[in-house]
Structure formats: C-alpha cells, structure tokens
Amino acid sequence: MFLDATDGERTCDIGIIEMAAKVWITVLTDGTIRHELTAALISMSHDGRYALEFHFSFARPISSNRCLITKRFLASDADWLLMIDNDVWPYANLLDLVEADKDVVVFPTPILRLGVPEPPIISNITPLNGNIVDFDEAPLIEVLRGGGSAMLLSRRVLEGVERPAFAYTFDEDGVALDDEDMYFCAKARAAGFEIWAAYSHPCGHFKEVDIVAVHSRVKQWDYSAEGLYAVEDI
C-alpha cells in the first residue's frame, strides 16, 4: 500500500513496505559439492524476492547434521529453511515454493537402490494412499512423506515438531527401519502438519555406479506400471 504525502510544492510517495521473508539455504556436505548445485546456488543468490543466507554444514551421521542445522536455524530470525544435499541439484528455482506457504515441501529426486527387492531407480516421494501421481495434473500435491535430498521447511513446523526432529529408527536387533527424513515426515504429520511435493521442481541426483549392474536391474522393471518417473522425464 502506498500513501500520497504532500509538503508544500513537493510531493512524494511514502511506501509501507513489508519486510521480505528470510530464507536460510543450507547445503549438507562432506567437503565437496556438485558443480551443478553451485550454479543453482549462484542463480538463487540473484533472486530478489527474499532475504537469503547461505550455509554449508558437515556433521555425521546425517541425522545429527540435520538436527544441528535445525538448531542453528531456530536460533536465527529466518522464516524458511531450505536444505539441499551436496550431490543434488534443482532444475528450477526452489525458492518459487516459498510463496506457496506450505508447512513442508519436498522436491522429487531419483534415488538409486541396487541389491534390494525394489526398482533400481525410484522416487523419494511416497504418495498418499499409494496413489500414482499425475505430474501434469498435480504440480504441487500433498503426500505421505518425502526424502530430504531437497526440502523446504517453514519455521512453524520446526518449532512445532518435538525434538529431535531428525533421527534414524531401528528394530530390536539394531537394524535400521527408516531414514532420518522419513522419521521427520512422520513426526510432522503426527503433529498436524502437511507434507507437499513440488513435482514442478524436480532435482537431479549424482551417483557413481556400475553401468552394467544398473542396466541389468532396470530391464527387470516396467516403470510405467510402477508410476515412477524416469530420468528423461525430469
């Protein structure tokens, strides 16, 4: 809103300007970072819609790193936390989703799984009720849970979820049941928050693999039947 102020012969517009939302962009890294992500971060740095802070964080295990990032974020005055793994890069500007004002937004990222009884390349998103997602019909859709490869979190959800927000879960024999990001999604939903997936903003994921092993595993699966996106689709 603008008010017109007149002082004698001088007239000026006095702007009542809302402060831009502040976004923490934090890369989880082991000391390296993909050049594609570096280019994406440089591009984000020119986004004039928000006040931005860039951080790089290393801690092990990754659940501890995410908890450390969360602790530092909550001690700041930032409104949004964008976490990105160092081997992941977005194909579009993830800051576009800030204005959607969702509790949590996860960004579809292909995950490599070899040597396990599931497709070798899968999505990191679990739809609600097991429904297959039509990406064109639902560029932003509520989901059951999603991986933390790239994740946008509102301050309200990080303040509202009981700590630790991120943790691995294990069975009685010490075998891992779930990763720290899926644990977070479960806690967030239990606390009444929603998880949304931005299929309009997918990410790439770099892995060094045995091409022969991947090829032999890919031939075993019909991806159209599984409702998963192939790499060429993103």
Higher pLDDT, 185 or 220: 185
Which of 2-11, 47-56, 68-77, 93-102 is predicted with the least confidence, judged by mean pLDDT? 2-11
User: Which two structure tokens, joined as six digits, stand for 137?
Assistant: 């019909």
Looking at the predicted structure, is the pLDDT value of residue 118 above 80? no
Check if the beta carbon of residue 149 is closer than 8 Å to that of residue 124. Answer: yes
The SS3 assignment for 200 reads: coil
User: Which two structure tokens, joined as six digits, stand for 122?
Assistant: 């899968």
- Classify residue 223 as exposed, middle or buried by CB count within 10 Å of its CB (0-12, 13-18, 19+): middle
Cα distances (angstroms) measured from residue 120 to each of 181, 211, 222, 228 = 20, 12, 11, 11
Which residue type is seen at 196? W
Looking at the predicted structure, is the pLDDT value of residue 170 above 70? yes
Q: What is the pLDDT of residue 9?
A: 40
The Cβ of residue 154 has, within 10 Å, a number of other Cβ atoms equal to 19
Partnered with residue 55 across adjacent β-strands are 26
Higher pLDDT, 177 or 209: 177
User: Which two structure tokens, joined as six digits, stand for 53?
Assistant: 């802070």
Sign of the torsion angle spanned by Cα atoms 1, 52, 80, 112? positive
124 pLDDT band (50/70/90 cuts)? confident
Compute the distance between CA of residue 226 and CA of residue 234 in angstroms, rounded to an integer: 16
Half-sphere exposure of 91 (CA within 13 A, CB side): 16
Compute the distance between CA of residue 76 and CA of residue 73 in angstroms, rounded to an integer: 5
Looking at the predicted structure, is the pLDDT value of residue 234 above 60? no
Compute the distance between CA of residue 134 and CA of residue 121 in angstroms, rounded to an integer: 18
Q: Mean pLDDT of all residues in the chain?
A: 82
103 pLDDT band (50/70/90 cuts)? very high
Which of 18-32, 167-181, 211-225 is predicted with the least confidence, judged by mean pLDDT? 211-225
178 pLDDT band (50/70/90 cuts)? confident
Tell me the DSSP string of 202-225.
-EEE-----HHHHHHHHTT--HHH
**106 phi, psi to nearest 5 deg:** -110, 150
Which of 81-90, 166-175, 178-187 is the most confident on average?
Answer: 81-90
Partnered with residue 154 across adjacent β-strands are 80
Q: DSSP label at 131?
A: P
Residues in the chain: 234
Element (H, E) at 86: none
Higher pLDDT, 179 or 135: 179
54 pLDDT band (50/70/90 cuts)? very high
Question: Percentage of the chain surpassing pLDDT 90?
Answer: 59
Which of 5-14, 169-178, 208-217 is the most confident on average?
Answer: 169-178
Looking at the predicted structure, is the pLDDT value of residue 70 above 80? yes
Which of 19-23, 49-53, 210-214 is the most confident on average?
Answer: 49-53
**Topology given in CATH for the domain delimited by 2-233:** Spore Coat Polysaccharide Biosynthesis Protein SpsA; Chain A (3.90.550)
Which of 87-101, 103-117, 189-203 is predicted with the least confidence, judged by mean pLDDT? 103-117
